[in-house]
Amino acid sequence: MRREDGPTGARELQRALTARLLRRLCALPLFDRRSSRGVLRWAVLWGGHNLLLRGGEFGCVDNKDFTAAYGLTLADCDWIAPCAETGGYDALVVDMMVIKDERVTRSRVPCLIRRRQPPSVPRGADPCCAYDALRALWEQRIAQTPPSERSTAPLFALPDGIAVSTATVLSFVREAAVAAGEPPGDFDSRSLRIGGATDLYHLFGPQEAERLIAARGRWCSLIHQIYTRLSATSMLAVSSVMADATGVDLEAFRHGYVMPAIVRARRS
């Protein structure tokens, strides 16, 4: 497991794949969302954006085998029926492994996603819904996987059952960029994570977004923040509105411009 490193003062161009760009794909009938690969790609795009996933958190990093101890399996998805706690909406709890963990605790973090539409609306009617995209993938994988293997089988897997790697995520991200009319080389496997964080910042402002991004993105927070608690209600609400973001990231206005990372001192 990799340990968390502090950001350097400069980085390569990694454009944010935001909801604004992802929504462009919804209007493209030729952008496949129906085939087995299309269902997987759609879940990677909207699930990765909503959960702020790193490229290696979908299945495995390149040149490494998938393991149930670190990867996201079918058993790591807990589907919650509409109830008072979810505001009457369907919801999903995903137990995410923190693959960058400076203390190497090998712990999982529960991440919440609420369906954007009420139960009366058929699944799939809202193409921007991360819950629906992930549910479609989960049902597809359940049909492909024998019951005895579901506790260790990857959720994000190609039609042949091979877990999605960082390279696969990169391929999906750049396919989406091309379809959205953006230069594919400006995006990489972290663009969904950056896009989700960018949209949270635009939706909630710097103060509230800082806590939401740190919690939802499984980043190490400042020491004073360990004494605060986020409510499940807030996290469910966040998951259902992220696809409505309309903000444009600064790098989209100036091709080739790389916004410098904020340098923070490491905690001792």
Question: In the prediction, which pLDDT does 49 show?
Answer: 95
Mean pLDDT of the residues in the chain: 83
Question: In the prediction, which pLDDT does 24 show?
Answer: 96
**Which of 48-62, 161-175, 246-260 has the weakest average pLDDT?**
246-260
Question: In the prediction, which pLDDT does 223 show?
Answer: 36
Task: Indicate whether 6 pLDDT > 70.
Answer: no
Q: How many CB atoms lie within 10 A of CB 28?
A: 11
As a whole number, mean pLDDT of residues 207-218 equals 75
Task: Indicate whether 123 pLDDT > 90.
Answer: yes
Question: In the prediction, which pLDDT does 3 show?
Answer: 45
List strands edge to edge, sheet with 108-114: 77-80, 91-97, 108-114
Task: Indicate whether 111 pLDDT > 60.
Answer: yes
HSE (CB half, 13 Å, CA atoms) of 143? 8
With vertex at residue 256, the alpha carbon angle to CA 252 and CA 257, rounded to the nearest 5 degrees, is 70
3-state secondary structure 171-199: HHHHHHHHHCCCCHHHCCCCHHHHHHHHH
What is the radius of gyration, based on Cα positions, of the chain? 18
Question: In the prediction, which pLDDT does 263 show?
Answer: 34
Per-residue confidence at 236, pLDDT binned at 50, 70, 90? confident
- Scanning the chain, the segments in alpha helix (DSSP H) are 19-26, 36-51, 130-144, 166-179, 191-216, 232-241
As a whole number, mean pLDDT of residues 30-50 equals 97
The candidate with the shortest Cα–Cα distance to 19, out of 257, 260, 255, 240, is: 240
Task: Indicate whether 253 pLDDT > 70.
Answer: no
Question: In the prediction, which pLDDT does 265 show?
Answer: 36
Q: Which residue has the higher pLDDT, 14 or 13?
A: 14
Q: Which residue has the higher pLDDT, 5 or 112?
A: 112
Amino acid at 65: D
Question: In the prediction, which pLDDT does 11 show?
Answer: 55
Q: Which residue has the higher pLDDT, 69 or 251?
A: 69
Dist. CA 245–CA 251, nearest whole Å: 17
- Render pLDDT for 47-88 as a digit per residue (tens, 0 to 9): 999 999 989 999 999 999 999 988 999 999 999 999 998 999
Q: Which residue has the higher pLDDT, 57 or 247?
A: 57
